[in-house]
Amino acid sequence: MKTQLLIAATLGLTLLGLTSFLLIHKSSRVEFTEDQIKMWKSFKQTYNKKYADQDDDEEVYRMNVFFDNLEFTKKDPTMGVTKFMDLTHTEFAELYLNPAENIDEEIDSLQPIQHNEDIVIDWVEKGAVTPVKNQGGCGGCWSFATTGGVEGANFVYKNVLPNLSQQQLIDCNTQNKGCGGGLRDIALNYVKETGLTTEEEYSYEAKNGKCRLQGKSNPYTISGFTAIKQCSDLVNAIQKAPVTVGIDSSNLQFYTNGIFSNCGTKINHGVLLVGYDSVKEAWKVKNSWGPKFGEGGYIYLSAKITNNQIANTCAICTRAYAPYI
């Protein structure tokens, strides 16, 4: 009798699955609509997400996180579905952000600026920027921001565009912490003293490893770098070459397109500033989360000007470094 009841119950749930999907997680029943299931399946297929069986706790948990995040994105038109939708804010921060950048300091959200004429600069269009890369599950954003700055400096000052090795910095720049985070100024000092080899010579592995520079040439270096803390100085610097900057990217987990401004001033991510447009009032930033993130791997941050005050969006002007040769 018990067996017959169990079979009947199983068949009943199977039929119910045509219109809704019932899953159990931590003793709580969660119901997903048919449209939600289609959206979830599309997300998994698009980003090649793999989980355990459909009725497993892990997938149920990830589905709940996904739809909680989806609700959050509805608050901002620049947000939407990204590959990070199945991660909580805490998980995202632990995997992709840089704890070494979290230095307590007072940061002005607005700074004085004055333009006598329109300024439009895009170093991607000028050919000074290598293709967007993907740091993966390694907190090595600082190494990507650093190599991007050195690549741009070599383009501007030597008319060459090398594709430089982030893994060399992760493995060999021991004053930083590899995938555990690092500071871009320390990395730039390392480049000044040691030089960098290419990605082809020292390929990226997205994990900490032993330094394997022996027998490799490190021809790409810099003479120094200028530290920048003001937006007016950053506007001047970006007109000369790409600049490595630090930003608060906590909410960028869900960025899809447009000019973003929904962020705080707690710097936790290293990126490369590659452009500025005073007409559109936007900074153009090269990220390291792959070309499918944002607008082809790029992010546009608000540079809105009001009464000769420019938005220091995500603290972009606060901790920037401009390498030179």
- Please identify every residue annotated as catalytic: 141, 269, 287
DSSP 175-204: TS-GGG---HHHHHHHHHHH-B-BTTTS--
The widest CA-to-CA distance across the chain, in whole angstroms, is 86
Neighbouring CB atoms inside 10 A of 294's CB total 23
| Distance (Å, whole) CA 169 – CA 191 | 9
Q: How many CA atoms lie within 13 A of 119 on its CB side?
A: 22
Neighbouring CB atoms inside 10 A of 268's CB total 23
Rg (the chain; Cα; Å): 23
> Among 14, 18, 9, 61, which Cα is nearest to 37's?
18
